[in-house]
Amino acid sequence: MAPAEHDRGAFEDCIRGGGVVVFGSDTVYGLACDPLSRVAVERLYALKRRADDKPAAVMFFSLEVALAALPEHGARTRAALAGLLPGAVTLLLPNPRGRFPLACASDPATLGLRVPVLPALAGVRAPVLQSSANRAGGPDARRLADVPDAIREGADLVLDGGSLPGTPSTVIDLRAYEQEGRWAVLRAGAMPEAAIGTVLHPPSSGDKRP
């Protein structure tokens, strides 16, 4: 079995078994678990020392699978997803069907979506709850050695993704995009705003960026 296939199989087995994985994404090192397992989500949050009311992103490893899992979104939003994903962005989407409530936490009306450029895990079909592999508020990990010891030791599986770019994903708010064409960058990151602007309609002049 090739190394990538071994990592993918181990990753899927760990997630299905309720475990927590440290892995290298396309931006920084992350933590992943089953988004539908309360026990796994609580463990992941405890490793990060993250407040349990703070939302996390749901990561899919294929745009096709993500679009099939979120059929409620309209044509404008789906075109935005197809233009931006896979890529180093986290998209905030409306969540009218209340999907992935453990990931949405205190904001069930919003779903954070990630689809990375990650060939090693491209065959994974199930989504995961994903967050950065650091203590809450701490620096992002570019190398596996940068992940705090307590997180690596507390995880059930650790996958070494080598040295990563080290800049977290750009967070884009698309919650008003379908109806109003409005969007905003809430966190600058790995994907520059100029590149986003080639895909999305320009934000309205009255839009205030946080």
Residue 184 reports pLDDT greater than 60: yes
Amino acid making up residue 23: F
Q: Are strands 128-132 and 57-59 parallel, antiparallel or unpaired?
A: antiparallel
Nearest Cα to 24, choosing from 152, 175, 182? 152
The pLDDT confidence band at residue 201, using thresholds 50, 70 and 90, is confident
The model's pLDDT over 82-111, given as tens digits with 9 standing for 90+, comes to: 999 999 999 999 999 999 999 999 999 999
Residue 209 reports pLDDT greater than 90: no
Q: Dihedral of CA 189/82/183/121: which sign?
A: negative
Mean pLDDT for the chain overall:
94
Percent of the chain with pLDDT over 90: 92
Amino acid making up residue 162: G
Residue 116 reports pLDDT greater than 60: yes
Residue 15 reports pLDDT greater than 50: yes
Cα–Cα distance measured from residue 10 to residue 12, given in angstroms and rounded to the nearest whole number: 6
Non-local CB neighbours of 6 within 8 Å, separated by 6+ positions: none
> If you average pLDDT over residues 49-73, what whole number do you get?
97
Strand partners, 103: none
Q: Which pLDDT does position 186 carry in this prediction?
A: 97
The SS3 call for residue 209 is: coil
Category of 86 on φ-ψ map: left (φ > 0), alpha (ψ -120 to 50) or beta: beta
Q: Which pLDDT does position 72 carry in this prediction?
A: 97
Max Cα–Cα distance, the chain, nearest Å = 54
The pLDDT confidence band at residue 5, using thresholds 50, 70 and 90, is confident
Q: What's the chain's length in residues?
A: 210
Domains detected in the chain: 3-197 (3.90.870.10)
Q: Are the CB atoms for 92 and 186 separated by under 8 Å? A: yes
The pLDDT confidence band at residue 205, using thresholds 50, 70 and 90, is very low
> If you average pLDDT over residues 16-43, what whole number do you get?
98
Please report, to the nearest 10 degrees, the dihedral formed by the alpha carbons of residues 138, 140, 142, 143 taken in order.
Answer: 40
Residue 197, Cα to own-chain centre: how many angstroms? 21
DSSP 47-58: HHT--TTS--EE
The pLDDT confidence band at residue 3, using thresholds 50, 70 and 90, is low
